[in-house]
Amino acid sequence: MKIIGEGIDRLDGRRKVTGAAQYAAEIPVADIAHGVIVSSRIAKGKVAQIDSAAAERAPGVIAVLSHGNAIKLQAVDGTAGRERTLTVLQDAVVRYARQPIALVVADSLERATHAATLLDVRYDAERAEVALDPALDRAARPRHAQGAERPPEFTMGDVAAGLAQAAARVRAVYTTPFQTHNPMEPHATVAVWQGDRVTLYDSTQGIFGVRDRIAGVFGIAKTDVRVISQFCGGGFGSKGVMWSHVVLAALAARQLRRPVKVVLTRAQMFGLVGGRPRTVQTVELGATRAGKLTAIRHDSVSACCRFDEFVEHSTAPTRGLYATPSLATSERIVELDIGTPCSQRGPGEATGLFAIESAIDELAVELAIDPLELRLRNHADVEPWTGKPWSSKSLKACYHQAAEKFGWHARSPEPGSQRDGTQRIGWGMASATYPAHVSPASALARLRDDGTALVQAGSQDIGTGTYTVMAQISAEALGLPLDKVVFELGDTVMPETPNSGGSRTAASVGPAVHGAAVAVRAQLFELARGDASSPVAGAADDDLVFEAGRVALKRDRSRGEPFEAVLRRAGKKQIEARHDRKPSAELDKLGARAFGAVFAEVCVDPDLGIVRVSRIVGAFAAGRILNAKTARSQILGGIVWGIGMALREQSVFDATHGRIMNADLAEYHVPVNADVPAIDVLLIGEEDPHINELGIKGIGEIPICGVAPAIANAVYHATGKRIRDLPITLDKLL
C-alpha cells in the first residue's frame, strides 16, 4: 500500500470549493459584535485627543475603545526574534503609520465601519523617518542574539588576501524593496470569553504561539486559552506571529462581555502585520582565472522599526552555497519609524540569493565562463561555513536536469545575441536553497472498532495541503485505505506542534504522526498475536503485515483478519497512542538544506523596456515528496511569487506621512495570469536518512528562492544592462 508520494487530490478541496470550509471570520457565533480598527494617520508622535462623541451616538455602536478607556494588559512588549511589541491601546504613543489608535465596536460591520469614520483625532506629530538608504550610516549590529545559524558576523579565512590574489573580482550593491504579503484571506480573529476562559478563532500559522501570548497578555493560564484555526487562507509569514488585532478582539470581548470579531481591511494589511523589509546588500567576489572562488564577502543592511528587532538574514544562503577558502558575512539593521517587519516567503534566502546569485553571474561574465559551469566548479561538497557533511544534497542533479529540460546548452553567451523579431531574448539561471528545519511535535492516533482511524495534531493547514499529506502518512503507516483515515488539526486541545513556517510542518509533524500511527499499530499487534482466536496468534512482530485494514501473516496473507475484529474480541471500542518527537541530535553534526536550480527565459521590448517572462524550468530536491500533486502546486505558487518579486512587487512609502501609499491590490502589483508563462517543475528524487525517519525536508519556502536572480540574469543576457535594484521595472531599462 504505497500512499505516500502519490499525487492525491486535496482531501479538503471539496469543502473549500463548495464553501463548507469555514475560515476565522466565517465562524458562526451568537450575539457577535464587530470591531473596526481606527488606524493612525501619522507615523510618529502622540494622539493628543480623540473626540468619539459622534461615533458613540451613531446607530448600533456599542463602544469606542482607545488608550483612555481600554483595560490594562501585561506583557505587551516584544522579545526580539520571537514576539512582537503589541500596540493595543495602552498609551497615546504613535510608533508607525496605520497603528491602531481606537477600536469601534458595533452590532454590524457596516455600522462599525461608518462610525469609525466619525472619530475626530488630533495628533502631536513628529517628523518620521521611513527611508533606509539615507540612513545607512546608522546601520548597527543587532542587539539581540539571533541564534547559532544566523550570526550577525562571520569570518572564515583571510578575505582581504583572497580578494587581493584574485585574477577576477566583482563588487556590487544590490537592493530589494519593502514588500507586503497579501494573502487572499486578510487577518481575522473572533474572540469569545466564558468567565476567565477565552476561545479564539484566528487566521494564524501558529495556534500554540497565539495561545501562549494571549495567556501572557491577559495573565491567565495557557489551559484557559483555546485557539482554533481549521482553515487559513494563506499567511506566507505574516501570520507566523501574533499581531495587535488579535489582542484587540480579545480585549474588546472581555471588556464588553460579548463576542467580538475583528477583520483587517486590505489597507491595514500594509503596515499593521509586517512585511519583507528593504535590504541593501554589498557582495564582493574574487576568483582565479579558472573560475575557482578565492573569497566571498557579503554585507547586508535591512530596515527595522524602533521598538522591536527583526533582521532579514540575507547572508544565510551565501554561507551555505559555494566552496571558498575565505568568507565573511555581516548583517546590520537601521531603525526607522515603521511597523515591525517580519518573515515573508523564503525569508533571508529569497533576498540574499538575489544578491549572491546576481554577483556570481557577473563573475561568470567577467571570466567568460558559462554561469552554470562556474557554479559547478564551486560546488560545495560540505557545508562551507561549518565544514559539516550534508545530510543529503542533490544540487548537481537539479542543475543538470533543469539545464537539459531548458536547453541551456544552446545558449549564446553574448548579451543581446538572441532575438525573436524585434524582441530581445535572454536566458538566465540561479541556484536555490533553503534550510531544512525540524522542530519538536506531537500527535495522537486512535484506531476504532469500525475499522477507521482518527489522527490528530494541533498543526495548521495554511493552504499547503497539510490535511492531505498527514492523512497519507497515517494511512500508509496503519495499513488502512485513505478513506478510512480522518486527520484533524487546528485546535490547541490537540497535541502541540510548531508554527507552520520555515518549511518545517511536514518535516516536524509528519514524523510525529507516523510515530503515533506506528505506536497504535504496535498495540494492535499485541492484541492480535496474544489472542488464541486470532489467525495470527503467537506470531512475531516481523511475521505480521498491515494492509487494506487487515492484520495478516507475511508468508500467507489469507491468514489474517480485519482490525475491527481484533478490537471487538478484545472488548475495546478503540485503542490510542501518542507520540512526542524531537529532532535527532545527529542533525547538529550535519548541514541540512533543500536545494534547487531555476532557469528563466525573458523577452524584452527594446523600445518600451517591457519584460515578459516566457519560460521557466525549476528543479528542486527537498527530500521525500509526500504528495507529488500538492508539492508541484507549492512550487508553481512559489515560482509565480518569484516573478512578482523580480518584476512587480514593491510597497512604496510616502516620505512625508510615513505611510505605504499603494495599499491595495490595484496599486500593489502582483503577477496575474497574463504574466505567468509555461513553468516546468522537476521534482528530484532524494533520500535523506538523517533529517527524520521519513526523509522529509519541506518544500514551502524554496520555490521562490532563486527565481528573482534567474530573471535578473536573463534580463542582462537580453539587454546587456545589469539591474541590481528590484523590482526590474521598465524605467530601469530605458
Strands 197-202 and 188-194: antiparallel
Within 8 A by CB and 6+ apart from 101, the residues are: 38, 39, 40, 47, 50, 66, 67, 89, 94, 121
Q: Which of 511, 702, 498, 706 is nearest to 600 (CA)?
A: 706
Tell me how far apart the alpha carbons of residues 628 and 644 are, in angstroms, rounded to a whole number. Answer: 25
Q: List C-alpha distances in Å: 151 to 311, 321, 322, 341, 437.
A: 11, 16, 18, 19, 17
- CB-neighbour burial class of residue 63 (10 A; exposed 0-12, middle 13-18, buried 19+): buried
Tell me how far apart the alpha carbons of residues 474 and 482 are, in angstroms, rounded to a whole number. Answer: 8
* Catalytically annotated residue among 284, 349, 561, 701: 701
Enclosing H/E stretch for 54: helix 53-57
Backbone angles phi, psi at 38, to 5 degrees: -95, 120
Q: 3-class DSSP state for residue 23?
A: coil
C-alpha cell at 516: 503515533
701 is catalytic: yes
DSSP state of 715: H
Tell me how far apart the alpha carbons of residues 580 and 278 are, in angstroms, rounded to a whole number. Answer: 39
DSSP string, 466-486: HHHHHHHHHHHHHT--GGGEE
User: Could you count the other beta carbons within 10 Å of the beta carbon of residue 626?
Assistant: 26
Within 8 A by CB and 6+ apart from 414, the residues are: none
User: Could you count the other beta carbons within 10 Å of the beta carbon of residue 374?
Assistant: 20
Give the start-end residues of each E strand in 634-700: 678-683
DSSP string, 311-376: ---TTHHHHTTB--S-EEEEEEEEEESSPPP---SSTTHHHHHHHHHHHHHHHHHHHT--HHHHHH
User: Could you count the other beta carbons within 10 Å of the beta carbon of residue 29?
Assistant: 16
- Amino acid identity at 368: A
Q: Which residues are catalytic?
A: 701
